[in-house]
Structure 1
């Protein structure tokens, strides 16, 4: 079994109190940009890797998709997804992203929100997603930005008074495992450069159509003023890619 911090009771309790856990996509600062990267979803077969509480699965079906499969390794996450965001056309499966093994052409769209940085073998994910997509299919995902993941501490540099001075970046080229402090717990994440994230897609056969480094929108900042410093450095990287219709 791959590492699964989200089934740890203490960690899950803290995660469940986050705004995006309580309020869904409207509380996710990157959602408006992520949504724009998605292709039209009507009548599409969709796979959500690392579906969490299932907010994206619910959105997909609201856009009149044919079906959506939400996959997550955490049974606690899937339990909440079934309670909060279930309905006709939605199927939830417990499985690690690295272990997907769907027949070729099973899906028209694969999406993943803030899960890739937990995966050790990113290139494997790219190849497997490519294989399970239909020709012309889309892969859209968000991950923690490499500027954010480079140093395991994932924290600001403070002056003597405790004021935030700058966001430190070091060991950027040293890719691999990081033990970060998140929600008062040690969590394993994997740092990759922007080049590695993009080249993994290209080497799998994808064409990259859009890359975004979103800051919280004015509406999000008005609602959550504590996020004002998220405009000082990128926290998320969003990439939209497509499997060409002819190969």
Structure 2
């Protein structure tokens, strides 16, 4: 099955790049700090970044002491920026969908992915390949859209009062997993919804133990500056997971 490569769409790419440059974006306020808070000591470690995008995280991993970083992405446009703005002798960028992760050579201490898995249809297949690429005791750390977000497919996301204020989020078809189409910079963007239990059980079935999960919500300091982020008390945008590969007889 052909993988979606929406990030090479000019309209989507420019909209996304502008969003990531916004200091007050949800990524900068919540997702990135939560993801990085789960990182172990990277000194001397080999890191694989799935869906590396502009390579900003790859540079951060090198700055934290990683000896080698491989950044994987399907988007030519994203990797062009990564090569121009975030290059380092310790970083290798590969244009490859994560569904073809088995083509990457070598073993890794840590596999990290930021906001990519809700675009992946065969989550179990990719998680299985990640397990094979990790050393025993290696970490798999990833963020994705929160299932309370990814379940939305049609109709208004919020119920509002007469003044237009959000009262609560509309939830439907949470237990119906699979493809959703949404509009975000472009129409007909495909994402894949999975329940919390499916995410956790897929990790367990593929040889992982879950160590930590975070659903970031704003603190008082963020709310003072960005009061609209109070919406996250109704529905967190992100889910961040830290899992560890259960040890077997073979080690790196």
Unaligned 5+ segments in structure 1 are none
CA gap of 1:180–1:226, structure 2 versus 1, over 3 A, is same
The alignment of Structure 1 onto Structure 2 pairs a total of residues equal to: 246
- Are 2:51 and 2:98, in contact at CA under 8 Å, matched by a contact in 1? yes
Report how far residue 230 of structure 1 moved.
Answer: 2.4
Equivalent residue number for residue 11 of structure 1: 12
Alignment of 1:91-240 (within 5 A): 91-102=92-103, 106-153=107-154, 155-240=157-242
In the TM superposition, what whole-angstrom CA distance separates every residue of 1:84-108 from its partner, at most 9, and x where no partner exists?
2211211111111111115786100
Change (3 A) 1:212 1:109: same
Confirm or deny: 8 A CA contact 2:11 2:185 kept in the other structure: no
**Stretch moving more, 226-235 or 199-208:** 226-235
Structure 1 residue 222: Cα displacement: 4.7
CA distance in 1: counterparts of 2:88 and 2:150, whole angstroms: 36
Q: CA deviation at 1:214?
A: 1.2
Whether contact under 8 Å (2:49, 2:72) holds in the other structure is: yes
Deviation at 1:31, TM superposition (A): 2.1
2:188 and 2:213 map into 1 onto residues whose CA distance is 29
Deviation of 1:52 (Å)? 1.1
Q: Give the gaps of 5 or more residues in structure 2.
A: none
Cα deviations across residues 147-182 of structure 1 (Å, max 9, x unaligned)?
111121483223343221211111011000000121
1:60 corresponds to which residue?
61
Deviation at 1:241, TM superposition (A): 0.6
SS at match of 1:172: coil
Q: CA RMSD in A?
A: 2.2
What SS does the corresponding residue of 1:112 show, helix, strand or coil? strand
User: Paired residue for 1:43?
Assistant: 44
Note closer, same or farther for the CA distance 1:49–1:166 as it changes in structure 2 (3 Å cut).
same
Q: Distance in 1 between matches of 2:84 and 2:159?
A: 40
* Equivalent pair of 2:48/2:112 in contact (CA under 8 Å): yes
1:203 CA displacement: 0.3
Q: Which moved more, 1:176-185 or 1:123-132?
A: 176-185
Q: Match of 2:102, SS?
A: coil
CA 1:186–1:224: 2 relative to 1, 3 Å: farther
1:54–1:70 Cα contact (<8 Å) kept: yes
Determine if contact 1:21/1:53 at 8 Å carries over to the other structure. no
Change beyond 3 A, Cα 1:225–1:70:
farther
C-alpha spacing 1:142/1:57, structure 2 compared with 1 (3 Å)? same
TM-score (norm. length: structure 2) = 0.90
Provide the secondary structure at the position in 1 that maps to 2:148.
helix
